[in-house]
Every structure is written in C-alpha cells, then in structure tokens.
Amino acid sequence: MIDDDVELCELVTEYLEPDGYAVEAASDPVTGLERAMSGAHALVVLDVMMPGLNGLDLLRRLRATSTLPVLMLTARGRDVDRIIGLELGADDYLPKPFNPHELAARIRAILRRARPPADSPPGERLSVGDVEVDIRARTARSSGALLDLTTVEFDLLTALLRGAGSVMTREELSLQVLGREFNPQDRSIDTHVSNLRRKLGPYRQGMERIKSVRGAGYLYAGVGD
C-alpha cells in the first residue's frame, strides 16, 4: 500500500491481516515505486493524491515495466484523476474515504482475475480473426505478436471474444470483468475498452474491432461482420 497517510496504512494493515494478507506500507512514493517494482507483491493499493511524486506519475512509471495489478485510491469529486488513472492502466479504483469491506472485496476480485483459474482446461484458447487468447497462460496475441495487457484488459478481451458478434451490455461487462454491479456514474468499463482498443489497433481494413453500440454496450466484430 502506497499512501502518505501512515495511520491509514496501519489501520488498513490491521483490517486486512486477519484475512490472510501480508501488507507492506510505503508512505513515500519513491520507496513505494521501488518496492512495487521488486516483484515481491501481488497487488498495489495506490493513493493518487500524494505530495511529491504524484500517484499518477508513479503509476505511469510502474506500468512502463510491470503489469502488477493496481487499485487506485482517488479523491471523490476528482473525476480527472480517476479517468487518467484508468487510462494509465490501473485495474480499478476506490474513492476515499472508503469502506474497508469494499476495499477487501475489490482486492479479492482483482487477485482472483490475476490468478489463472485452476478449473479451466489446460491450454484453453479463444481466437477470433487474428486475435488469439490463451486463458491458462493469460497471454493474448494479435497476428502472432504478444500484447501487453493489464489483468482487467485481458479479462475484458476474453469476455468480448466469448461474445464476439453479439452486443455485450455495460452491466454484463462490469459484472464479469470488474466483479461488481454496473453504476451509471462509473465509466471504468468505457476507459478500459478504449485502452484495449488502442492496444489492439483496428483491423487492417481500418475497421474498429470493438464497436460501441449507443445506449446498449460493446460488440467485438469479426472480420467479416
């Protein structure tokens, strides 16, 4: 947990440890970034409102080399931070002040996604057109080239590919990908979709792979559609 509020870090540690989590707190962003890059952690809880090295800068630097899941803590009413954070590749966000129960739930959801599902058959693959996804290995390739996706983006792509050719509503995507009910004020899904679009790029014919269906949701279009 990277947050300049030391007391808050202590309280969160106290709350999460009984659940079996080991929490390391860093109140200084520079140390925090160093520790996050060490590869010793499963997830980072990052406060984006910090003095000195801004939380968003930290996220940008972290994302340059790592796909470590990140849960942002944002200030309510600062929509800009939230949107930029999600664009930079944060997996989810929680406005501060938060209910610790909610924090634990989000952490669980992100970690569940990040861990390969044990029950999926080995080597399960999905492929639509030139995009191929290996669910077990959690890798995605476009025309053979490996895509650098965050866990949310990977899950979103998988969900869209499973429903390729039909419209998936924001409600469905929110439930499947983020593990929570859709809230109209929350544009996380839209931001993740636009990130995914950018990383996938359009079809060679210039056609958009993920189409927005106004008022309904998103659709992964096959080449022939």
Partner 1 sequence: MRTLFVKIFLWFWAAMALVVLAVAAATSVANMRREERLRREFDDPARVFAQMAARTYEREGQAGLSEYLSFLEGEARHRAWLFDAGGAEVLGRSAPSEVDGRARRMLRGEGQASGRPDARGLQAFAVSGPSGVRYLMVTRRLNPRRPPPWPEPRTVVLQLLAVLATAGLVCYWLARYLTAPVVRLSAATRRLADGDLSARVGGTGRRRDELAELGRDFDLMAGRIESLIQAQHRLLGDISHELRSPLARLSVALGVARRRAGEPAASAHDRIQRESERLNEMIGQLLTLTQLESGVDEVPPEPVGLSDLLGEVIVDADFEARGRERAVRLAAQAGCRLQGNRELLRSAIENVVRNAVRYTAPGTTVEVGLSHEQTAGLTRAVIRVRDHGPGVPPESLGEIFRPFYRVADARDRQSGGTGLGLTITERAVRVHGGSVSAENAPGGGLVVGLTLPCAGNHEALTAGS
Q: Which is nearer to partner 1, 12 or 44 (CB)?
A: 12
3, two tokens: 């947050």
Which listed residue (20, 39, 77, 144) binds partner 1 by CB under 8 A? 77
Phi, psi of 187 (to 5 degrees): -105, 20
Residue type, 205: Q
Residues between 195 and 224 that touch partner 1 (CB under 8 A): 215
Minimum CB separation of residue 87 from partner 1 in Å reads: 14
Q: Are 73 and 46 in contact (CB under 8 A)?
A: yes
Cα–Cα distance between 149 and 133 in angstroms, integer? 11
Q: Annotate 167-211 with DSSP letters as a single string.
A: EEEHHHHIIIIISS---TT--HHHHHHHHHHHHH---TTS--SEE
Minimum CB separation of residue 186 from partner 1 in Å reads: 11
Residue 15 lies near partner 1 (rule: CB under 8 A)? yes
DSSP H helical segments within the chain, as ranges?
A: 6-16, 29-37, 55-65, 79-87, 100-114, 151-162, 170-173, 188-200
Minimum CB separation of residue 84 from partner 1 in Å reads: 11
The number of residues that bind partner 1 (CB under 8 A) is 22
Q: Which is nearer to partner 1, 78 or 199 (CB)?
A: 78
Residue 116 lies near partner 1 (rule: CB under 8 A)? no
Cα–Cα distance between 146 and 134 in angstroms, integer? 11
Residue 50 lies near partner 1 (rule: CB under 8 A)? no
Q: Which is nearer to partner 1, 53 or 75 (CB)?
A: 75
Cα–Cα distance between 53 and 41 in angstroms, integer? 21
Which residue in this structure is represented by tokens 């650098």? 148
Which listed residue (38, 65, 166, 185) binds partner 1 by CB under 8 A? 185
37, two tokens: 């890059």
Which listed residue (51, 122, 123, 184) binds partner 1 by CB under 8 A? 184
Which listed residue (101, 118, 145, 198) binds partner 1 by CB under 8 A? 101
Residue 5 lies near partner 1 (rule: CB under 8 A)? yes
Q: Which is nearer to partner 1, 97 or 222 (CB)?
A: 97
Contact footprint for partner 1 (CB under 8 A): 5, 7-8, 11-12, 14-15, 18, 75-77, 79-80, 96-101, 184-185, 215
